[in-house]
Every structure is written in structure tokens, then in C-alpha cells.
């Protein structure tokens, strides 16, 4: 009995740990995919026009005003926003080592151009319109950033699948181990029950039920722990809105159901094999 | 395959047990059984005796369906158990009362639960058998130990519990392997009286023992090295 209690507690804890790990991997992976998708959508719907810095700065300021007017009148453009110098400095800080004050004059001026999603303008359309007006500008359609985001998204998806597969394998092993050990410890009792006329199915149920219950409790506890850790660490950011909470609940349900299913299938398969081994 | 549950539960036949040309594989310390023929009518009382390793437990295992014969045919209560489905065989086993040589009590059940196990397996409700099992335990001298675990009993008491479990569900055949081997004379006499009384009520009784004078059986079969000597009928 003591050995069985020890075994059951270990199974419960290990199942909980694996599910919590799977839950954290799942939340981190989904958050990464979600955010990357947001970046890709945003990068794809916008272009950035850079006006080269000039001396005196008033020339560049005038170019920005003209460029903004031209871009706003170009077909396929929905909105045009010239960025404040301070905002440009903030965006370019990684490359300018935090230029401030008079140094801001050497920074290019940036214009964010939001495309009309129904019929977006092409990069060449914007570049030709600006060139025709004699404005020295570079149009960036964010191709490079979008490729980087796509690579990141693919990597995150691969890591998510690999992490979940490792956890599923772990849970499967725990399910098989729990059923195997529990039924081995009760082997003589099960054998006696069969000899007294208990059906293999009834022995199977009585043999696998304690392991199955422990696994489900462990998985449920692990799933809840994962969500709590996710919320505390900010991984489960969508949980702040009702829609996000619903999505979180769905993810948790899918996680717990999937993890339980994997563990239980292995526990059932192992228990069935052990029953067959009990003899005629 | 005979798989009809009702046929198994209700089949009545005058032959309780028939072994025809049965062989059992050798096990540690025993030479196995060879070409054994035996037929018991319902209500017969057979004492199987022989030295250790003669094959008594093999014969009990074959009759109790815990061993499959290597050759020959076994019939229990008119059915060939090895042609039944697993659940059909389970139903047939419920018509037998077994006392195993190594008792096979379940340590994580109480004395009461062990004794009531065949009834529970047969699907009886606990309130229907509670009183009968308590009376049986009283009669067999374990009434005050009903809540104890088998490991808390001495061997004599454990053996009495094994007998109580074998008779609790009113089986049609009782197969008892050394049922009183560890008991004192008083307890042994009490248990044998119970078994003989059940036999007089029509239960087929098969006892296996090293002691050829264990009980006044109407039929005696001696096993020597896995072979049966000519049977004695009285």
C-alpha cells in the first residue's frame, strides 16, 4: 500500500510538471506566433519613406511637407503620417547610439505610409511619385523585416511543436509507467480476482482507474499551474480581455484534454497488456 | 464457441467435472500430469492425495481453470472452459469455490471484504450479503477479525478465511488444495465439517491433501509422480 501511495504521488507530480511545462511552452509559442502575425500584418500594410537629412534642416522639413502631400494623393494610400523628430530618434536609437539635441539634424525624416488594404500602392508607385516631384527619398516596403518576421514565426512554430511533442512523449511514458507499476504491484490480487470469476474487463477497470485518476488530476493541476505562471509572467497577455480570456480557456481545455488523452491511451494500452499477461 | 451467458449460468448437468486424457506441463518440483482421466458426478466427494510434487496442485489448477491443459479435454459443469470466451470462462469460474494452496488472499482488503469477494464479483449488493458473510465469519471463528487485514492474521486464521471465501457464494463445486494443512485439530475439524455438510447438500467436493485419511471421502485418487493410481471408491 505504501509503495502504491508513493507511486501514485510521484505519477501525479510528474504528470503535473510535464503538463505545466507543456502549458508554458504552448503559451509562449502561441504568444510568439500571435505577435509575429501582428508584426507581419503591420509591416505588410505599411511602407516607410525616408527623406535624407539636409543642411539647413528647414529644407528637409519642407520636403517632408511636400512628400506627405504627394503621398496622400497617390492611389492606394490610405493614410500618411510624418514622424516627429524625437520619434525618429527613438526608432533609430539602436543605430545612432542615442543621438540627442543638435545631432538630431543628421537623422533622416521618416514618413509612415499606410496602404489601402483593398488596392495597396506598390513601392515603385510611391518612389516614382516622389522622384517626379524632385524629392530625394528612399521608399522601404519592409521586405527585409517581413522575411525576418516570417523566419521567426517558422522557428517559433517549430519550437512549439517540438516542445509539445517532448511533453506528449513524457506524458505517454508516465501513463504507461503508472499503469505498468500499479498493475505489477497488484498482480497477485488481480490474478486472484480473475481466478474467482472477475472478468478481464472488470480487472482492467479496477486496475487502470487509480492510475487514470492520478494522471487526470496531475494534468489538470499542471494545466492550471501553467496558466497561473503564464498570467504572472505576462505570457498570457491576451487574458486581459474577455476574448483573450475565452481564448485562454480554450487553450487550457485543449491542453488538458490532449495531455490527458495521450497519458490515458498509454495507460490503457499498458493495462490491457498486463491483464493479458495474467494468464488463462 | 459457446458464448451464450445464459447457457453458462443456467446449464445443469449431472457431470460436475470430467478430465479426459489430460496432461499438464511440468512445473518446478513436479513432473507434470500425464494422461489423466477422471469423472465426477454432482455431489461426489473426491479426496486427491499423494506426496509433495505428485501433481495434486496441478490437478486442482486444471479443475479450477487456473491452468490450461497441455493435452486432453477438461469439462466443468458440462462446459469446455477453453472453448468459451474470456467472459464466459469468468462466469463459469463463479460457479466454483477455490481454496488455493497459497491462499491468495488480497492484502489490501479486510477479512470481510476478502470473504465477500466472490459475491461482489458475482454482482451481489453489499446489503444483500452483509449478514450472511458476517454469520459465516462468526461460524468459522473470524467474526471478531472482520475488519482486520489478512497480514494481521496467523496462518491458521488465514486458511480459515480462504475456506470462508471459497464457500461464501454457494458454489457448485468446491476445490480445496490442502484446506486444513496449517490448522489446529479443532479448527480443522470445524472446517471439514462445514465442507462435508455442503457436500451432503449436493455440492461437489474435491480436496487435495498429503494426508490420505483427511476426510471420509466416497472416492479417493492417489497421484504418484504425475500419474493416477487406480481409484478407490467406497
Give contacts of B68 with chain A, Cβ < 8 Å.
280
The average pLDDT across B153-172 equals 94
Note whether A190 and A183 are within 8 A (CB). yes
* Spatial distance between the Cα atoms of A104 and A112, rounded to a whole number of angstroms: 19
Out of B90, B96, B106, name the one closest to residue A199 (CB): B90
- Which of A194, A196, A201 is the best residue to mutate to test the B interface, defined by the most B CB atoms within 10 Å of its own CB? A196
Which pLDDT score, from 0 to 100, does residue A97 have?
A: 67
Residue B81 bridge partners (DSSP): none
What's this model's pTM, rounded to 2 decimal places? 0.68
CA distance A195 to B61: 10
Which chain B residue is nearest to residue A276, measuring alpha carbons?
Answer: B86
| pLDDT tens-digit map of A138-150 | 999 988 888 998 8
A199 shares contact with chain B (CB less than 8 Å)? yes
Q: Please return the burial class of B167, using the count of CB atoms within 10 Å of its CB with bins 0-12, 13-18 and 19+.
A: buried
When pLDDT is cut at 50, 70 and 90, the band that residue A18 belongs to is: confident
Determine the residue of chain B that is closest to A278 in CA distance. Answer: B66
pLDDT at residue A236 is higher than 80: no
pLDDT at A248 over 50: yes
DSSP label at residue B146 = T
Q: Give the pLDDT confidence score for residue B7 in this predicted structure.
A: 54
pLDDT for res B2:
44
Task: Tell the residue number behind the cell numbers 507530480, with chain if given.
Answer: A13
pLDDT digits (tens, 9 = 90+) for A39-51: 888 888 899 999 8
Look at A69-78, B11-20, B120-129 and tell me which has the smallest mean pLDDT. B11-20
How many CB atoms within 10 Å of residue B40?
20
Closest Cβ–Cβ partner in B68, B94, B100 for A197: B94
CB B103 within 8 A of CB B182: no
Predicted complex ipTM: 0.86
B37-70 pLDDT, tens per residue?
Answer: 999 999 999 999 999 888 899 999 999 998 999 9
Q: Which residue has the cell 480570456?
A: A245
Read off the pLDDT of residues B97-126 as tens digits, 9 standing for 90 and up. 999 988 999 998 999 999 999 999 999 999
Residue A111 CB neighbours (<10 A): 23
pLDDT at B3 over 50: no
Asked if the C-beta of A188 comes within 8 angstroms of chain B's C-beta atoms, the answer is yes
Amino acid at each position: 500500500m505504501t509503495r502504491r501511495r508513493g507511486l501514485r504521488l510521484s505519477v501525479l507530480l510528474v504528470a503535473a510538471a510535464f503538463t505545466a511545462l507543456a502549458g508554458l511552452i504552448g503559451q509562449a509559442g502561441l504568444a510568439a506566433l500571435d505577435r509575429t502575425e501582428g508584426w507581419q500584418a503591420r509591416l505588410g500594410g505599411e511602407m516607410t519613406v525616408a527623406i535624407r537629412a539636409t543642411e539647413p534642416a528647414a529644407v528637409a522639413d519642407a520636403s517632408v511637407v511636400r512628400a506627405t502631400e504627394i503621398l496622400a494623393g497617390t492611389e492606394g494610400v490610405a493614410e500618411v503620417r510624418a514622424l516627429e523628430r524625437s520619434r525618429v530618434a527613438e526608432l533609430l536609437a539602436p543605430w545612432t547610439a542615442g543621438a540627442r539635441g543638435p545631432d538630431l539634424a543628421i537623422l533622416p525624416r521618416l514618413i509612415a505610409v499606410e496602404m489601402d488594404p483593398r488596392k495597396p500602392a506598390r513601392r515603385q508607385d510611391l518612389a516614382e511619385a516622389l522622384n517626379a516631384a524632385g524629392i530625394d527619398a528612399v521608399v522601404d516596403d519592409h521586405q527585409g523585416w517581413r522575411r525576418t518576421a516570417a523566419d521567426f514565426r517558422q522557428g517559433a512554430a517549430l519550437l512549439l511543436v517540438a516542445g509539445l511533442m517532448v511533453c506528449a512523449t513524457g506524458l505517454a511514458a508516465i501513463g504507461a509507467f503508472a499503469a505498468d507499476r500499479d498493475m505489477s504491484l497488484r498482480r497477485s490480487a488481480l490474478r486472484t480476482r480473475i481466478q474467482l470469476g472477475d472478468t478481464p474487463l472488470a480487472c482492467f477497470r479496477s486496475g487502470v482507474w487509480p492510475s487514470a485518476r492520478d494522471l487526470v488530476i496531475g494534468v489538470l493541476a499542471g494545466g492550471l499551474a501553467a496558466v497561473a505562471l503564464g498570467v504572472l509572467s505576462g505570457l498570457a497577455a491576451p487574458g486581459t480581455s474577455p476574448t483573450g480570456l475565452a481564448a485562454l480557456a480554450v487553450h487550457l481545455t485543449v491542453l488538458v484534454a490532449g495531455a490527458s488523452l495521450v497519458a490515458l491511451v498509454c495507460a490503457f494500452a499498458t493495462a490491457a497488456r498486463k491483464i493479458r499477461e495474467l494468464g488463462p | 464457441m459457446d458464448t451464450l451467458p445464459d447457457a453458462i449460468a443456467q446449464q445443469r448437468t449431472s457431470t460436475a467435472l470430467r478430465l479426459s486424457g489430460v496432461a499438464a506441463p511440468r512445473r518446478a518440483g513436479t513432473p507434470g500430469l500425464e494422461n489423466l482421466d477422471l469423472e465426477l458426478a454432482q455431489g461426489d466427494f473426491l479426496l486427491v492425495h499423494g506426496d509433495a510434487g505428485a501433481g495434486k496442485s496441478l490437478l486442482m489448477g486444471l479443475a479450477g481453470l487456473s491452468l490450461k491443459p497441455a493435452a486432453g479435454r477438461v469439462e466443468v459443469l458440462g462446459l469446455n472452459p477453453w472453448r468459451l470466451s474470456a467472459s464466459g470462462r469468468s462466469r463459469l469460474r463463479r460457479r466454483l469455490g477455490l481454496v488455493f494452496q497459497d491462499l491468495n488472499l488480497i492484502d489490501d482488503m479486510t477479512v470481510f471484504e476478502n470473504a465477500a469477494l466472490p459475491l461482489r464479483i458475482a454482482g451481489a449488493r453489499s446489503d444483500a450479503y452483509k449478514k450472511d458473510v458476517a454469520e459465516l465469519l462468526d461460524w468459522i471463528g473470524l467474526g471478531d477479525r472482520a475488519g482486520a487485514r489478512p497480514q494481521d492474521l496467523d496462518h491458521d486464521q488465514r486458511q480459515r478465511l480462504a475456506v470462508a471465501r471459497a464457500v461464501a457464494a454457494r458454489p457448485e463445486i468446491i476445490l480445496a488444495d490442502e484446506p486444513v494443512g496449517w490448522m489446529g485439530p479443532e479448527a480443522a475439524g470445524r472446517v471439514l465439517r462445514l465442507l462435508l455438510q455442503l457436500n451432503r447438500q449436493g455440492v461437489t467436493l474435491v480436496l487435495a491433501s498429503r494426508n490420505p485419511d483427511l476426510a471420509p471421502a466416497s472416492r479417493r485418487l492417489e497421484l504418484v509422480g504425475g500419474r493416477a493410481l487406480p481409484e478407490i471408491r467406497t
